[in-house]
Amino acid sequence: MRGPPRHDWVIQLFGFGCFSHLQLSAELTKSLYIPIMSFLIVAKIAARSKDMKNFRKSIRVSVIIPVYNGASYLVETVESVQKSTYKNFEIILVDDGSKDKSKTLCHRLEKKYKNVHFYWFKKNKGLASSLNYAVRKAKGEFIARINQDDIMVPNRLKEQIKFLKDNPDHVIVGGDVTLFDENYRLVDNISFPKTDTDIRNQWLLMSPYADPTVMYRKSAYLKTKGYQKYFWPADDIHMWYQLGQVGKLANLNKILTRVRWHNKAGSIASHKIQMEKTFEVHVWASKNIQKANFYHWIFWISQLAAGKLFPPRFNWFIYRRIRQIQNLFRDVKKTARLNKVTTQPKKYNFSGV
């Protein structure tokens, strides 16, 4: 049994069933086909454009991911963000002149997810330029950072948004991290100071944040000078000092990001220059933010020397042990302070009144 004539099939396909029984000429059918197709395509594009505009108007968080030769783990990172329990976010990918397949992957991810937006530089401009560009493109009230090879914990965005909503005087909030290796084995957990006071007491010694855990207010970022290329790869530490001049700082007492620990990670591959620039950032902070004491200078010089003399993994192992000791001393001091308050001697009245 033969199917319906071609002109009946075309007309029914586009919803004009009422004309299916009309004896239209082949010429008329052909003349209607192109206008109808054009109309439907334009209508679909317009509807999608309207949906995207409405979506972007409602965005609360912009997750920015700078990309450079990150094809190995990028998809896993983006998919971890998509699994977030908080859904009102966009992802901004900025490729900084990658030489691998990163750009192709970014295009695929943009096609797959409507909340992914992709931009790229033809030539490498550096991490600071990628981050500043991403923040400028961001539609969200809050900016969340994660690196191209890390994994976001599902509740992270929800927890951080709640904190910033409940604490309007705070401009940035981070959290703790878990390090894992190429085989997904646990390397270590790293805890950071939690309160604004604790952070300011320690920030001249060590960075108060793990960069791939932070969320900050875009309005606060706009009051800074942005990420400074000169301080790369310690430009994030410089940013924390700047944000500290705008408002209060905090870290949640929760693991927010799983950080991949491998030889191509920036903290290992660029270790020596990172130690040099960290020293320069601290010197800048001593002049512009908070004057350093003798012990700060001793620590900075020791850190700089270690960066030049010892391998990165050894230095980072020592760094994690120092941070643990630092956290232990902080907790002991807090406990002692609390005990002093709760064990105050009672005052008795001997006057008989």
Integer Cα distance of 59 and 42 in angstroms: 26
Determine the Cα–Cα distance for residues 285 and 242; give it in Å rounded to an integer: 9
Mean pLDDT of all residues belonging to the chain: 87
- Could you report the per-residue pLDDT of 106-155, keeping only the tens digit for each? 999 999 999 999 999 999 999 999 999 999 999 999 999 999 999 999 99
Most distant CA pair in the chain, distance: 117
pLDDT in tens, 166-176: 999 999 999 99
**Is it true that domain 53-149 has CATH number 3.90.550.10?**
yes
223 neighbors 178 (Cβ within 8 angstroms): no
Instruction: Give the pLDDT band (50/70/90) at residue 13.
Output: very low
- CB-hemisphere CA count at 13 Å for 111? 6
* Beta-carbon count within 10 A of 115 CB: 19
Beta carbons of 231 and 280 less than 8 angstroms apart: yes
List the single range of 49-58, 85-94, 177-186, 257-266 with lowest mean pLDDT: 49-58
Q: Where are the domains of the chain?
A: 53-149
State pLDDT tens for residues 54-71.
445 579 999 999 999 999
Residue 343, pLDDT score? 56
The stretch 205-229 carries a mean pLDDT of 97
- Look at 148-157, 207-216, 341-350 and tell me which has the smallest mean pLDDT: 341-350
Average pLDDT over residues 95-116: 98
Percent of the chain with pLDDT over 70: 80
Burial class of 200 by CB neighbour count within 10 A (0 to 12, 13 to 18, 19+): middle
Which H or E run includes 66?
strand 61-67
- Say how far apart CA 65 and CA 118 lie, in whole Å: 10
Average pLDDT over residues 242-257: 98
pLDDT score recorded for residue 173: 98
pLDDT at 48: 54
Asked if the model's pLDDT at residue 186 lies above 50, the reply is yes
